[in-house]
């Protein structure tokens, strides 16, 4: 069973929940797909090793064959190629690796070479398998890293928990593709609710099954809960707000260590999710 | 006001939820006679919730085009399926819009030209009148690509608006992370304010966003929000980064930030006699003046 944890707004507690679940449940693989800012490893006392580079293919021009006709640069939708009098310039960070240029070059003068844009790492401790992706600083495209990271999902594990990036744009969509269930972690404040609504709109367009975990319950107002009731969205769990949890979080201690009673609630949450699936 | 004279400041954080938007809201309220506010966190734009626009003018934003297969012509030869690297074409030869990156490879390679590239409205942007002046904000349609392009559009429109309104500063609220929308919110700005929190995650993410600022050679100044949640890590942020990225202010944890949000106000607009809140308001005024001074807009 693959469960993705998303949020819309950043800092609502996705990572805390992902790590708490991973450390409580049996036979889990945890995937940190927030490749811009992967933080799960901070909460896991675990060594990780480099497993693979995340790469995208970029064009290489063979000037023995190139006639500088400019078909490649004229048709690149990302403006990653530019023809100047004596060569074709490549702006490699703009290239999405679609391969169009190599396929439409009339002289077959373009081949492709992998360009590293991030890393995929792995660790294992006890019965927890952990993978995460890390984008190189200065790179723009997180989606290909997420998609390559997801190739490391183990089919043997009973539960795969995927910590998604914030927002509701393409990186989040890539993260939740093909998962069985999505947990939306919301913070009950006006900003938290507004961002959660956008994520829910996206999940509905994609026909995903999902439920809500309200984190930092008590910090704001009751609007989020009312919204879930009105929209008939299941509230899977509520995690209270406390400064003690916040202080422990700051040191890398997930809330399940402060509120051990949460472990039992995770079991009933999972049962609810299984029912929904 | 000449566009070239307009200064731009982006507020970023690396990690989400550090208080970026609530802090920029207060700065914007403080500098309402000088600045235009641009909400460039386009897939989670929230500032309009605080400043409740009295009137909004909305415009469609066209992102990258998307492929569409003409089913009447399609012979299901499968070349497009093989060509597409984004798995955006389903087995029954429909384009999956949320996966299509608009590269047009299928369009060029379809042997019978059955695939068109259609203009695609991927979001909307607004120029709104609010109690603190003009606010430029946007909304990316759910699941869309092109967030970086929409950020660039919001910034362009905000700059034009500043010129029309005779303001010499654009305040830009950025996205979390370090990728495409963040880079788009930083290119060519005069200064970045980084709002961080003293947590191990906050520290880790701060380190990465500062590396990005170094690559782009953008001067950055750090605000440590909720510094008293973990004074040890707050201290470590100061000692590790102070030399290259000065710490401008350290704001204590206070429930007023959420309370003000519920009342649809920035913290600066909250009327109170509470000493702790008054102190926070003073810090925000000082931070706003610091920005003006650094950009030589303080005359």
What pLDDT digit, counting tens, does each position of A132-178 carry?
999 999 999 999 999 999 999 999 999 999 999 999 999 999 999 99
How many percent of chain A have pLDDT more than 70?
A: 100
**A77 → chain B, closest CA residue:** B103
Does A63-108 match A2-54+118-276 at the fold level?
Answer: no
ipTM value for the complex: 0.93
Percent helix / strand / coil, chain A, rounded to 5? 35, 30, 35
Q: How far apart are CA B39 and CA B46, in angstroms?
A: 8
> Which residues does chain A have with pLDDT short of 50?
none
Tell me the DSSP string of A45-89. Answer: ----EEEEEEEEEEEEE-TTT-----HHHHH-TT--EEEETTEEE
Q: What is the pLDDT of residue A35?
A: 98
Please give the radius of gyration of chain B, using alpha carbons only, rounded to the nearest integer. Answer: 22
In chain A, residues 206-245 whose CB comes closer than 8 Å to chain B: 206, 219-221, 243
Q: Say what angle helices A223-230 and A190-205 make with each other, to 10 degrees.
A: 20
pTM of the model: 0.95
Q: What is the pLDDT of residue B142?
A: 83
Q: Which of A79, A84, A82 is nearest to A98 (CA)?
A: A79
Chain B contact set for A95 (CB, 8 A): none
What does the domain layout of chain B look like in residue ranges? Answer: 3-62+124-294, 65-119
A83's CB contacts (< 8 A; 6+ apart) are A68, A70, A73, A74, A89
Angle (CA) B122-B127-B130 rounded to 5° is: 135
Q: What is the pLDDT of residue B147?
A: 87
Q: What is the pLDDT of residue B226?
A: 97
Report whether pLDDT(B2) > 90: no
**A12 → chain B, closest CA residue:** B17
Q: Is B43 on the interface with A (CB under 8 A)?
A: yes
In 10 A of CB A37, how many CB atoms?
27
Coil, strand or helix at A204: helix
- CATH class for the domain made up of A2-54+118-276: alpha beta
Per residue in B173-201, pLDDT (tens digit) is 999 999 999 999 999 999 999 999 999 99
Per residue in B140-175, pLDDT (tens digit) is 988 787 789 999 999 999 999 999 999 999 999 999
Q: What is the pLDDT of residue B217?
A: 97
Q: Which of B53, B3, B9 is nearest to B31 (CA)?
A: B9
Q: Is A9 on the interface with B (CB under 8 A)?
A: yes
Q: What is the pLDDT of residue B144?
A: 83
Q: Nearest CA to CA, how far is A120 from chain B (Å)?
A: 17
Element at B175 (helix H, strand E): none
Q: What is A63-108's CATH topology?
A: Alpha-Beta Plaits (3.30.70)
In chain A, residues 43-72 whose CB comes closer than 8 Å to chain B: none
Paired strand residues for B116: B68
- Residue carrying the six token digits 């597409």: B84
Q: Which residues of A161-179 are buried (b: 16+ CB within 10 A; e: fewer)?
A: bbbbbbbbbbbbbbbbbeb
Q: What is the pLDDT of residue B174?
A: 95
Report whether pLDDT(B4) > 90: no
Q: Which of B21, B293, B16 is nearest to B172 (CA)?
A: B21
Q: Which residues of B160-182 are buried (b: 16+ CB within 10 A; e: fewer)?
A: bbbbeeebbbbbbbbbbbbbbbb
What does the domain layout of chain A look like in residue ranges? Answer: 2-54+118-276, 63-108
Yes or no: is domain B65-119 CATH 3.30.70.20?
A: yes
* A271 CB burial (10 A radius; 0-12, 13-18, 19+): exposed
Q: What is the pLDDT of residue B43?
A: 87
Q: How far apart are CA B263 and CA B272, in angstroms?
A: 13
CATH number (3.40.50.1820, 3.40.50.2020, 3.40.50.300, 3.10.20.90) of B3-62+124-294 reads: 3.40.50.300
């Amino acid at each position: 069973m693959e469960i993705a944890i998303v949020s819309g707004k950043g800092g609502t507690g996705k990572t805390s929940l992902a790590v708490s679940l991973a450390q409580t449940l049996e036979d889990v693989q945890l995937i940190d797909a927030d490749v811009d800012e992967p933080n799960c490893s901070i909460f896991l006392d675990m060594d990780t090793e480099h497993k693979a580079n995340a790469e995208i293919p970029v064009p290489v021009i063979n000037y023995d064959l190139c006639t500088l006709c400019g078909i490649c640069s004229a048709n690149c939708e990302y403006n990653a190629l530019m023809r100047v009098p004596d060569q074709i310039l490549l702006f490699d960070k703009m290239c999405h690796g679609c391969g169009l240029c190599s396929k439409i070059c009339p002289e077959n003068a373009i081949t492709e070479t992998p360009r590293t844009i991030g890393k995929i790492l792995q660790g294992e401790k006890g019965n927890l398998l952990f993978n995460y992706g890390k984008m190189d600083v200065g790179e723009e495209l997180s989606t290909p890293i997420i998609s390559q990271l997801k190739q490391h999902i183990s089919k043997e594990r009973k539960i795969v928990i995927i910590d998604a990036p914030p927002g509701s744009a393409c990186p989040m969509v890539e993260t939740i593709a093909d998962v069985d269930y999505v947990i939306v972690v919301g913070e009950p404040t006006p900003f938290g609710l507004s961002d959660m609504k956008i994520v829910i709109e996206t999940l509905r367009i994609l026909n995903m099954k999902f439920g809500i975990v309200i984190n930092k319950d008590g910090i704001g107002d009751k609007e989020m809960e009312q919204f879930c009731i009105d929209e008939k969205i299941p509230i899977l769990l509520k995690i209270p707000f406390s400064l003690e949890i916040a202080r422990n979080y700051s040191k890398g201690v997930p809330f399940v260590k402060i509120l051990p009673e949460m472990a039992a609630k995770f079991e009933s949450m999972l049962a609810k999710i299984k029912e929904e699936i | 006001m000449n566009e070239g004279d307009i200064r731009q400041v982006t507020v970023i954080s690396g990690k989400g939820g550090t208080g970026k938007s609530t802090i920029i809201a207060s700065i914007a309220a403080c500098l309402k006679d000088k600045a235009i506010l641009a909400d460039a966190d386009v897939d989670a734009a929230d500032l309009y919730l605080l400043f409740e626009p009295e009137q909004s003018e909305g415009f469609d934003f066209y992102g990258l085009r998307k492929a569409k297969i003409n089913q009447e012509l399609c012979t299901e030869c499968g070349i497009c399926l093989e060509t597409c690297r984004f798995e955006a074409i389903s087995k029954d030869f429909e384009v999956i819009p949320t996966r299509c990156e608009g590269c047009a490879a299928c369009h060029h390679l379809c042997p019978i030209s059955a695939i068109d590239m259609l203009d695609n409205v991927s979001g909307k942007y607004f120029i709104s009148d609010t109690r603190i002046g003009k606010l430029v904000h946007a909304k990316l349609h759910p699941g869309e690509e092109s967030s970086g392009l929409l950020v660039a559009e919001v910034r362009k429109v905000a700059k034009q608006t500043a010129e029309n309104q005779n303001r010499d500063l654009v305040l830009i609220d950025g996205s979390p992370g370090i990728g495409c929308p963040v880079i788009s919110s930083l290119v060519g700005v005069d200064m970045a304010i980084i709002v961080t929190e003293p947590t191990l995650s906050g520290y880790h993410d701060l380190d990465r966003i500062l590396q990005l600022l170094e690559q782009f050679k953008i001067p950055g100044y750090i605000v440590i929000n909720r510094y008293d949640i973990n004074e040890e890590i707050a201290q470590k942020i100061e000692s590790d980064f102070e030399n290259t990225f000065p710490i401008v202010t350290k704001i204590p944890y206070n429930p007023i930030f959420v309370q003000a949000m519920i009342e649809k106000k920035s913290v600066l607009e909250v009327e109170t006699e509470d000493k702790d809140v008054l102190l926070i308001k003073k810090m925000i005024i000082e931070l706003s003046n610091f920005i003006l001074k650094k950009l030589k807009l303080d005359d």
